[in-house]
Amino acid sequence: MSKKILVVDDSRTALMMEREILERRTTYQCVTANDGQEAVEKAQQEHPDLILMDVVMPRMNGFEACKMMRQQASTREIPIVLVTTRGEESYMEAGFQSGCNDYITKPVNGTELVALLQSYLGE
């Protein structure tokens, strides 16, 4: 059974790109959400093997969603990779404090993204 990744971004462009990469370059299944609130709900319903999540989003941002998922038993152990345009150290630190496992910056390098996902999920 293929591993499932929950991709979260309010940008349709980013979602399209990440979905294309996952569908064409990996065997992982892809489900999507458009903001942090929806991500928390989808994570509980879909039980993904990994969450790839943008930080700056409406309703609930990636940091808040990450914290919330870490507080819930059903989502506590899911690896979370945050994706953002902000590469400053303080911002990355805030990401790790929210409970994420990894942090990558935009523009996303597709090859590096696939390698990172495989390091968590295997090929």
Partner 1 sequence: MNGDKSSATGAKPAVVETMNDLRLGAARKRLAESSGQEDAIEGVREIVANFLGSEEMGLFRVDRRTETFEVFWSFGIDLEQYDLLRALGDTGLQRVMRGECHVDLGTRERSGAMAKAQAFVPISVADQTIAILAIFRLLPQKVAFDKSDMELFKLLSDEAAKPLFGVTGHAAPRTEGPGVRM
43 counts as binding partner 1 under rule CB under 8 A: no
Contact map string, positions 50 to 89, toward partner 1, x by CB under 8 A:
-----------------------------------x-xx-
Q: What are phi and psi of 117, to 5 degrees?
A: -65, -40
Nearest-angstrom CA–CA distance, 54 and 85: 9
8 counts as binding partner 1 under rule CB under 8 A: no
Which pair of tokens denotes residue 23?
A: 């569908």
Distance of CA 39 to the CA centre of its chain: 9
119 counts as binding partner 1 under rule CB under 8 A: no
Nearest-angstrom CA–CA distance, 62 and 115: 22
Which one of 5-13, 41-49, 67-75, 95-103 is the stretch in contact with partner 1 (CB under 8 A)? 5-13
| Closest among 48, 82, 76 to 62, alpha carbons compared | 82
Provide, rounded to whole angstroms, the least separation between the CB of residue 89 and partner 1.
Answer: 11
Which one of 27-35, 37-45, 58-66, 106-114 is the stretch in contact with partner 1 (CB under 8 A)? 106-114
Provide, rounded to whole angstroms, the least separation between the CB of residue 32 and partner 1.
Answer: 13
Which string of b and e fits 60-78 if b means at least 16 CB within 10 Å? bbbbbbbbbbeeeeebeeb
Residues of the shown chain interacting with partner 1 in the complex, contacts defined by CB under 8 A: 11-14, 16-17, 20-21, 24-25, 85, 87-88, 105-111
